Amino acid sequence: MNVEIDVSGVVLRTERLTLRPWILADLADFHEYASADGVGQPAGWLPHQSIEESLQVLQGFIAEKKTFALELDGKVIGSLGIEEYDEAALPELQNKRGRELGFVIAKDYWGRGLMPEAVTAAIAWLFGEVKLDFVLCGYYIGNDRSRRVQQKCGFVPYKVVHTTTSFGEARDCQLMIRQR
């Protein structure tokens, strides 16, 4: 079952990153990476077309209280959301406490090991403080960067599901799981 999440008062620190709640002052940094071609498409969303679109998404992050901003040296370079998983598609998990991670990082920071660092910190918090039994994560087949992050963080293949992206494209998604 999905567990309620509220990151509004949570700050996690790693060797290089701060995972913290979003604030409106993050808008310029957010729009910079969210509008870049090639960042969102592998995760199933299109680049933001305007600062207004980024503002709308950012306001959702703030209101929903389930997404961390990833900050490096005072600049927001990505996000890590603790999303609800599809309980109807995974009824076998109904008696366990869990959530699903989604993450993205700006192109300029790809390949530096920052996302595994952030995911590891989030998992430690979710298992240690929130007391989840499992965390799911998924990647669209062909998104090797995301697959590698998940493997580095101890996720193992769970199930392939058929989904539709936010822009209407049907894709197969490999769900991965990590259990406490």
Domains of the chain: 12-137 (3.40.630.30)
Residues 6+ apart with CB under 8 A from 136: 85, 90, 98, 99, 100, 101, 158, 175, 176, 177
**Tens digits of pLDDT across the chain (180 residues):** 999 999 999 999 999 999 999 999 999 999 999 999 999 888 888 999 999 999 999 999 999 999 999 999 999 999 999 999 999 999 999 999 999 999 999 999 999 999 999 999 999 999 999 999 999 999 999 999 999 999 999 999 999 999 988 888 899 999 999 999
- State the pLDDT at residue 28: 98
What is the value of pTM for the model shown?
Answer: 0.94
The DSSP code for 168 is: S
| C-beta pairs of 109-116 under 8 Å, 24+ apart in sequence | 109/72, 109/77, 109/78, 110/145, 114/16, 114/17, 114/70, 114/72, 114/77, 114/78, 115/78, 115/149, 116/149, 116/152, 116/153
Over the chain, what is the mean pLDDT?
Answer: 96
The DSSP code for 90 is: -
- State the pLDDT at residue 136: 98
- State the pLDDT at residue 43: 87
